[in-house]
Amino acid sequence: MIQAQSILKVVDNSGAKLVKCIKVKNKSGRSYANIGDIVLVSVQSLRPRYGRRVRLKMNKSEVHHGVIVQTRRLYRNRAGVGLRFGSNSVALITPTGKPLGTRISAILPGRLRSLKWVRLAAMAKKII
């Protein structure tokens, strides 16, 4: 469960490495987020540039929207199978819901596909 002040890993190639959760959006009073929820994040650290031609899409301390794609907390689907990841991770999106990156370098849960994040699931390396 992700709440305010949680440090999250970024799994896409948008340029950020670590972000901090500022606020959980659209949860009607709840203060925590699970897989597939939208959060407001602030960029804490950036990925290193591998040459001058690489142009980053963001700077430190910028505020972006993100979708929670992995959590360390055990998630059970309707069949009873449990799923747990090694880190709390997020994929950055625009305020309209389009992804900022072009690739996702992580394994994503199949639940994202049913939660209107088909575009993120299509960019993933593998789906469980």
Using a cut of 0.75, tell me whether the model's pTM lies above it.
yes
Confidence of residue 119 (pLDDT cuts 50, 70, 90): very high
The identity of residue 2, as a single letter, is I
C-alpha closest to that of 85 among 71, 101, 99, 96: 71
Is there a domain that residue 93 lies in?
yes
In a domain, 120, yes or no: no
C-alpha 56 chain-centroid distance: 18
CA distances from 73 to 4, 9, 63, 76 (A): 16, 15, 25, 10
* 31 assigned to some structural domain: yes
Any domain includes 113: no
Instruction: Give residue-wise pLDDT tens across range 32-74.
Output: 999 999 999 999 999 887 655 556 678 899 999 999 999 999 9
Question: Is residue 39 a part of any domain in this protein?
Answer: yes
Our count of domains for the chain comes to: 1
CATH number of the domain within which 76 lies: 2.40.150.20
Domain that holds residue 27: 7-102
Backbone angles phi, psi at 117, to 5 degrees: -110, 50
Question: Which pLDDT belongs to residue 52?
Answer: 59
